[in-house]
Structure 1
């Protein structure tokens, strides 16, 4: 997996630089956990669902606990950029608040999931 550097801008306050340093150390673990969760789901999930699963994994000691929701979304995007995950085309999920939400899936499970979906609509 490629490792995207977490960097603060030179004009950012010192707190941003400290946070960026911590994020750059934990990002590979967060990314690996996000990928594992996408694979384990076996089906597309919304960011809300992914974050909830991440929080559960963290409570069980399987992921860094001090990870922001945005960091989880960012690592999912990096997995998409690397071709390991994708935004499911032509399908929409629902957020916790009932709004429309994109669905994310590990590429390794997408084709199997899609064929099951197509079989269900063909019957």
Structure 2
């Protein structure tokens, strides 16, 4: 059963990736807008993530960083989470599972909150971008 769920999840992720590869969120209105930005005018930590995903799928790393500075580190952390067991198994490495460390959620929480605060300051270099 778990194998079937993983296959379904993989196809779902691939489907979303195809949609974001083909359609540019800056040019199509089918993508949801950020409710936090719509209500407050301020950027949330996720603002720009749809555009960043589109840029990442087109290997535009500068675009990823410009749309959402935390998107690339978050994507790499998620990728590491799913790849490290395979590396440990096939290469006999001993890479740790970062999500089992007690400090990981707190570090992520603090980084996200600080990012949320700094990206809304007028002098922050990426604060002039268009809203999500």
User: When the two structures are superposed, what TM-score results if normalisation uses the length of structure 2?
Assistant: 0.26
Larger radius of gyration: 2
Report which of the two has the higher share of helix: 2
